[in-house]
A = this chain, B = another copy of it.
Amino acid sequence: MRDLPDSSTPVSGAGAMLRLVRDGRATTRAELVDITGLARSTVSQRIDALLAEGLLVAAQASTSTGGRPPTVLAFNAELGVALAAEVGVTRCHVAVTDLEANVLAEAIEEIAIADGPDALLPWLTGRLDALLALAGRARADVRGVGVGLPAPVDVASGRPLRQPSMPGWTDVPVGERLGEALGAPVLVDNDVNVMALGEHRLNWRETGHLLFVKAGTGIGCGIVVDGQLHRGAHSAAGELGHARAPRGGETPCPCGNAGCLEAIAGGGALARELTAAGIPARTVHDVTARLRDGDPTARALVRQAGRDVGDVLAPIVDVLDPAVIVFGGELADASDELVAGVREVVYQRSLPLVTRDLAIVHSADGSRAGVVGAAVLAIEHVLAPAAIDAALARAG
């Protein structure tokens, strides 16, 4: 299930036709013939199979020339649904989407990830089932499930890797267990990766290179290169929080190193600093509550945290040359201070060639990017050309 098909394989099957229609590159058989170089009869045979399966729908185009109008093909996003969950440390966002990742129903619930997978996975299955009923759809409609977890994840096996904030989750086969419970393929990835993917598909689809930074209790980033998630050699790409911050000094970090960005600019560190300044705060929620009140101490602390994030990001911007950096996460969402601090440093410090039209922005969709990205992950998997060809072969 996790042997992701190579999208660069020059296949000429029905799955490739479906992708061309989904990507908006072709809407008629004639266009498909032009693009693929296949015989018209071959294209028609494949399109007929996709129509028979309900993956495509055909409509008669209107025409002003009086001739017989061509049949316009469209992807049938209503054929099924995807289930999506963005699981955080204290919050879980669940959604049912159509096969274009449009949200049909969603909910946000308080959780405690430390309760562990034996408690949370059955709970999650129940929540997704309830949402499915709310959307008026059944288990049989579910084509795939996407899940974001606040840990590095081995995407191939669907298992989270070691993460101090997730005791009991290490190496648990989350994908397999949810797959058995829900009866559909499950894709699991890091939460910031799914947020990056969702943000790209929702708002920056025309942009090849995007960096998504989540700033909350922890600080991490997701990288989209040429429209695809960059996961790295060990599914560990994006670990921004444990980079050494210039202002980090010898501040100890739970990771065992000192001076990490998260140790001075993460939500926990800011809560401690706020407390030291006489404003009691325990978690990132307390910090953002003070921010929303306009408290000047909280604002100054978060502004400085933004500069610290900028110090670490500036060389990464020089090296990656992204078109846009999008910020999400509680600390970024609660005010303009964090992103303003990042802008101060990156625009001053990164190369003019790179920053001349670099956008550094808040996520336009707030918290929704995560579930949308999780849905996209599942949809791209089940609609991959090789998966479609295999499904049609079974059906045929």
Residue ranges of A at the interface with B (Cβ–Cβ < 8 Å): 7-13, 16, 19-20, 35-39, 42, 152, 161-162, 207-209, 221, 223, 225-226, 228, 230-240, 242-244, 246, 255, 257, 311-312, 314-316, 318-323, 349, 351, 353-354, 356, 358, 385, 389
Main secondary structure, interface of A, reads loop
The copy count of this chain in the complex is: 2
CA of A201 to CA of B24 in the docked complex: distance in angstroms?
34
Residues B321 and A237 in contact, CB atoms below 8 Å apart: yes
Cα distance, A319 to B238, chains bound together (Å): 4
Contact in complex: A225, B236 (CB < 8 Å): no
- A246 is contacted by which of B208, B238, B246 (Cβ under 8 Å)? B246
Nearest chain B residue, comparing its CB with the CB of A243: B315
Contact, CB under 8 Å: A230 / B240:
no
List of B residues within 8 angstroms of A8 by Cβ: 7-8
Q: Say which residue of B7, B225, B244, B321 sits within 8 Å of A225 (CB atoms).
A: B225
B residues near A315, Cβ cutoff 8 Å: 240, 243-244, 312, 315-316
Q: Do A232 and B10 contact each other (CB < 8 Å), given the known contacts A42-B39, A351-B242? A: no
Once bound together, how far apart are the Cα atoms of A85 and B242, in whole Å?
40
Residue from the list B38, B39, B209, B242 in contact with A232, Cβ < 8 A? B209
A238 to B162, CA, bound (A): 30
**Once the chains bind, are B323 and A243 in contact (CB under 8 Å)?**
no
* A to B CB contacts below 8 Å, 6 in the list: A233-B358, A237-B319, A239-B354, A240-B315, A240-B318, A319-B320
Q: How far is the CA of A11 from the CA of B12 in the complex (A)?
A: 7
Contacts of A231 in B (CB 8 A): 321
Question: A132–B190 Cα gap in the complex (Å)?
Answer: 52
Min CB distance, A119 to chain B, in Å? 26
- Chain B residues near A16 (CB, 8 Å)? 10
Q: Are A236 and B11 in contact (CB under 8 A)?
A: no
A233 touches B323 (CB 8 A): yes
Question: Assuming A11-B35, A13-B37, what are 10 further A-B pairs, CB within 8 angstroms?
Answer: A221-B319, A223-B320, A226-B230, A233-B321, A234-B356, A236-B321, A236-B351, A239-B319, A244-B315, A316-B319
